[in-house]
Amino acid sequence: MRRGRRLMTSNVLEVLMPQPRSANLPLLGARTIVAVLALLLLAAAAVPAAPGSSGRSVGAESASAAADEAALGALPAPYSGGDYLLVHASVGVEGAASYLLQAAYRGIPIYGSYLSLDRPAGSEELIPRGEPRALPEAELSALNTTPSLTESEAIAMYKAELARKLGGPIGSSPVDGDVPAPKASLVIYSFGGIAHLAYETELRFTLPELGDWVGWIDAHTGLLIDEINRISGMNAIAAASASGSTSGATSVQAAAAPIGWGKGYNGAQQSFYISSEKSTGKPTIYQLIDTTRPAAIKTLDFRKPSKSKTRPEGYEYIASTAKTFADTAAVDAHVNAKRVYLFYKNRFGRNSLDDKNMDILSFVHIDSKTMRDNAVWTGWAMYYGEATGLANGGANCTSCALDLVAHEMTHAVTQYTVGLEYRGQSGALNESISDIMASVMDSDDWEIGEDTGAASRSLADPAKYGQPASMSEYVDLPVDEKHDNGGVHVNSGIPNHAAYLTALKIDNADFGLKGRDTLGRLTYVLLRDRLLSPTASFQDARDAYIVAASRLSGLTDAQKSKLASLVSAAWQAVGIGNSTNLIDN
């Protein structure tokens, strides 16, 4: 599709969904989208107008719906026999709408082939952003789209492949609790110039190592086509073996939660909610479990696996016989998890990391070669390695730095929203978004991890830690584990610096907005409204931030226009310029 082409659309979604929302919609063909919108319009006609409404008539909406049907129906098919699938739709409080479509062939989604459509508030114009990834028609026409293998067979084959790679059977110990189940879905995956019908297969496990992998298994031959390690591009840890169980009747306190105290690594006394457990004939035990909110915050000791039914996560909770806790690593992990939860809840109304009130689990005291001096989000929980100390070439602590914890937990928010793939530019954006939100939460400076004694990145000065600050310095690396999945921790310096410059330009412009706060709002809107596809490039991110500028509530049109110009200038300064007609540079 030619960039900048404008398509007409109706305001039917604005009428039906006047409050900000972000819906996960079923995958639907473009012509099905039109039919759905038409049905929604008929339903809207039966809804009486609200007092003080704009007074748009049903007849006017019908005319807009006709234009909308013509526009969506006129979307050129990406391929002969192809269509678009609706991945996501979002509508803001002021009526701006965005749609993420994925190209498909014979109903099967094509990996990495996305098209975004945006409708500004108050407009009836639908503006394409980006282009679907093109595959040669000859590749597709020769493709057998009927799989020879089932999803279960693909999962089994990928498990066998990873077992050979990692040196042991893939799975989870009985003590490891609710590790997400494997899943596989059909996609068309182009690799080495050949289109494959493949199962995109996701495996999360604790044996023989802690793992979060995605692999593409040929749906006819069962061969592994490609794969990604999604745990920060690093090797994982060995899971502890089960030992012992808790006996005796127990009861967990359900009344008002007690308050505990403890010092973190920096020596500051902190207070936090805890839970108590009483076993028959034994003293009360206090645990680092905060159940005062819909999403519980639990901190567990990785050194102490448990088979007890009262420990569904598979490990003992950090515990004390008094309401004071001396485990500094656990106190820091517990308090910082709460702080990140409250940041997203209070600032953006987000209900935990998945926006569905998932519990936040933190496992501390992981003492393995690959996890020492590290903190990682595994796809379902936080894991903190033991710190070896700055004097030994490591870090002084791993859970003590709010920005480090915020960075890792923001990977979870990204996972549950835009789902950026962890390799190449999309992987660098994944890292950058975590750095950006970490810098918004920990606003003392623009560095990441300085409280551990071993800072690793600076948004203000990427070169300080060996990162590029502009596209002229981009480091082109092979996309494999040995090279950081294509340099995701290296090239993140470029969007990081664009973000820093955005905040700086906002502050210097003096037009009623605060730079760091506005940067956080822009980034969250980008995530919430899914303005990026999973395989987004730096250019896509620049365009998405400009669209996000038009979505911020409480701003005048003049402020939105000024903000979009500043965002554009910041990205231009790092060598990423205009690719669409979203804004005039």
pTM above 0.85, yes or no: no
Question: How many angstroms separate the most distant Cα atoms in the chain?
Answer: 75
Same domain, 256 and 387: yes
Q: Residue 106: helix, strand or coil by DSSP?
A: coil
Residue 260 lies inside a defined structural domain of this protein? yes
pLDDT of residue 352: 98
End-of-domain residue from the set 365, 400, 435: 400
Residue 459, pLDDT above cutoff 70:
yes
Confidence of residue 526 (pLDDT cuts 50, 70, 90): very high
Which tokens sit at 287? 């645990």
Which tokens sit at 28? 């639907």
The percent of residues in the chain predicted with pLDDT above 90, rounded, is 65
Which tokens sit at 318? 């950090």
pLDDT of residue 477: 97
End-of-domain residue from the set 171, 200, 229: 229
Same domain, 338 and 436: no
Q: Which residues contact 487 (CB under 8 A, 6 or more apart)?
A: 428, 475, 476, 477
Query: How far does CA 96 lie from the centroid of its chain?
Result: 22
Residue 245 lies inside a defined structural domain of this protein? no
442 vs 49, more confident: 442
Same domain, 216 and 281: no
pLDDT of residue 10: 35
CA–CA separation, 117 and 464 (whole Å): 38
Residue 449, pLDDT above cutoff 60:
yes
Mean pLDDT calculated for residue range 564-582 = 86
Residues tagged active-site: 408, 489
Same domain, 560 and 433: yes
* Chain mean pLDDT for the chain: 83
Residue 312, pLDDT above cutoff 50:
yes
Residue 582, pLDDT above cutoff 70:
no
Residue 534 lies inside a defined structural domain of this protein? yes
Mean pLDDT calculated for residue range 510-529 = 97
Residue 11 has what DSSP assignment? Answer: S
User: What pLDDT, in 10s, does the model give residues 116-139?
Assistant: 989 888 888 888 887 777 788 878
pLDDT of residue 23: 36
Write the CATH number for 486: 1.10.390.10
CA–CA separation, 135 and 194 (whole Å): 9
Residue 96, Cβ neighbours under 10 Å: how many? Answer: 22
CA–CA separation, 334 and 318 (whole Å): 10
Q: Residue 245: helix, strand or coil by DSSP?
A: coil
Residue 234 burial (C-beta neighbours within 10 Å; 0-12, 13-18, 19+): middle
Residue 544, pLDDT above cutoff 90:
yes
Which of 455, 444, 487, 449 minimizes the C-alpha distance to 468?
487
Q: 176: left (phi > 0), else alpha (psi -120 to 50), else beta?
A: alpha
Residue 390 lies inside a defined structural domain of this protein? yes
Confidence of residue 97 (pLDDT cuts 50, 70, 90): confident
CA–CA separation, 431 and 436 (whole Å): 9
Q: Residue 400: helix, strand or coil by DSSP?
A: coil
Mean pLDDT calculated for residue range 429-444 = 97
User: CA 350, 353, 356, 359: dihedral to nearest 10 degrees?
Assistant: -130
Residue 367 lies inside a defined structural domain of this protein? yes
pLDDT of residue 487: 96
Residue 533 lies inside a defined structural domain of this protein? yes
User: What's the angle, vertex CA 13, arms to CA 126 and CA 108, rounded to 5?
Assistant: 70
Confidence of residue 82 (pLDDT cuts 50, 70, 90): confident
Residue 308, pLDDT above cutoff 80:
yes
Same domain, 559 and 432: yes
pLDDT of residue 238: 26
CA–CA separation, 62 and 366 (whole Å): 61
Confidence of residue 71 (pLDDT cuts 50, 70, 90): low
CB 237 within 8 A of CB 383: yes
End-of-domain residue from the set 98, 130, 162: 130
User: What pLDDT, in 10s, does the model give residues 241-291?
Assistant: 223 333 333 333 434 689 999 999 999 999 999 999 887 788 899 999 999
Q: Which residues contact 35 (CB under 8 A, 6 or more apart)?
A: none
Same domain, 277 and 326: yes
Confidence of residue 70 (pLDDT cuts 50, 70, 90): low
User: What pLDDT, in 10s, does the model give residues 329-374?
Assistant: 999 999 999 999 999 999 999 999 999 999 999 999 999 887 899 9
pLDDT of residue 281: 80
CA–CA separation, 70 and 56 (whole Å): 21
Residue 421 lies inside a defined structural domain of this protein? no
Residue 14 C-beta-side C-alpha neighbours within 13 Å: 22
Same domain, 317 and 356: yes
Query: How far does CA 400 lie from the centroid of its chain?
Result: 23
Same domain, 356 and 491: no
CB 220 within 8 A of CB 147: yes
pLDDT of residue 232: 66
pLDDT of residue 76: 67
Same domain, 160 and 21: no
Residue 377, pLDDT above cutoff 90:
yes
User: What's the angle, vertex CA 292, arms to CA 336 and CA 300, rounded to 5?
Assistant: 50
Same domain, 221 and 170: yes
Write the CATH number for 265: 3.10.170.10
Number of domains in the chain: 4
Query: How far does CA 257 lie from the centroid of its chain?
Result: 31
Residue 430, pLDDT above cutoff 80:
yes
Residue 241 lies inside a defined structural domain of this protein? no
Same domain, 15 and 117: yes
Question: Read out DSSP for 136-147?
Answer: -HHHHHT---S-
| Pairing mode of beta strands 360-366, 382-385 | parallel
Query: What are residue 554's DSSP bridge partners?
Result: none
- Cis omega before residue 478 (within 30°)? no
CB 452 within 8 A of CB 441: no
CA–CA separation, 12 and 16 (whole Å): 6
Write the CATH number for 224: 3.10.450.40
pLDDT of residue 68: 41
CB 502 within 8 A of CB 438: no
User: What pLDDT, in 10s, does the model give residues 110-122?
Assistant: 999 999 989 888 8
Same domain, 292 and 371: yes
pLDDT of residue 579: 56
What residue numbers bound the domain in which 354 lies? 250-400
End-to-end Cα distance, the chain? 23
